[in-house]
Amino acid sequence: MFLNRQTLYLRPDPARVVVRPFKPTPEPRDLKPTDKARANHIVGRVLSLDSDTAEQQLADVLENFEGRHRNLLEIFERRAVEMEGALEPHAVLTKTQRYLVGAYFLHEYSFEASALFNPSIVRHPDQSGAAAGSCRFILSLRAVIDTNDHVLACLEHRHAYPGPER
């Protein structure tokens, strides 16, 4: 097969994100007294919102993030439950307040935020759908992010059809 070198650039896609626990700590049982005070301050701020403002805050969060994540309200609820044991006793939270507490203890994490390197391509075993003159391939590369306290690396996999436009 003849290959023609192209001017292609691999660029990180910041839209490829997941949600992760926001510190004060990933595991509520590991909260130190200072972290607990900070976490309880965050919950106190949510509790101080009137219901209309809380609803608007939740609507804003959903508008900004729902397109990138499935089951976002379930994720918020799960995180609120995880944080419950670490927090001081407080009033019973409304559903909106629970979602906001869960949202406030999460953040987005992009695996491709810092660097993409070590690309490798192989011919895809399934060439169905490939246009004449093109070859479907699988690309793997390493994605790295610096989280301030440590560096994480993962493998990314994509497939593509280089060649004439389809």
Instruction: Please tell me the number of Cα atoms within 13 Å of 22 on its side-chain side.
Output: 15
Q: What is the pTM of this model?
A: 0.66
Cα–Cα distances (Å) from 73 to 63, 65, 89, 108, 114, in that order, read: 12, 11, 23, 15, 28
Measured in degrees and rounded to the nearest 5, phi and psi for residue 156 equal -110, 145
Q: How many domains does the chain have?
A: 2
pLDDT digits (tens, 9 = 90+) for 28-70: 566 676 677 778 888 889 999 999 999 999 999 999 988 888 8
Q: Who wins on pLDDT, 131 or 48? A: 48
pLDDT digits (tens, 9 = 90+) for 7-17: 767 666 767 77
In a domain, 2, yes or no: no
> Quick one: pLDDT at residue 166?
44
Residues 133 and 66 both lie in one domain: no
> Quick one: pLDDT at residue 146?
65
Helix (H, G, I), strand (E, B) or coil at 149: coil
Residues 95 and 40 both lie in one domain: yes
Residues 23 and 95 both lie in one domain: yes
Q: Which domain holds residue 85?
A: 17-110
Report the share of the chain in percent with pLDDT over 70: 72
Binned at pLDDT 50, 70 and 90, residue 24 comes out as: low
Binned at pLDDT 50, 70 and 90, residue 164 comes out as: low
Rounded average pLDDT over 82-110: 85
In a domain, 3, yes or no: no
Helix (H, G, I), strand (E, B) or coil at 41: helix
Q: Are 30 and 83 in contact (CB under 8 A)?
A: no
Residues 105 and 127 both lie in one domain: no
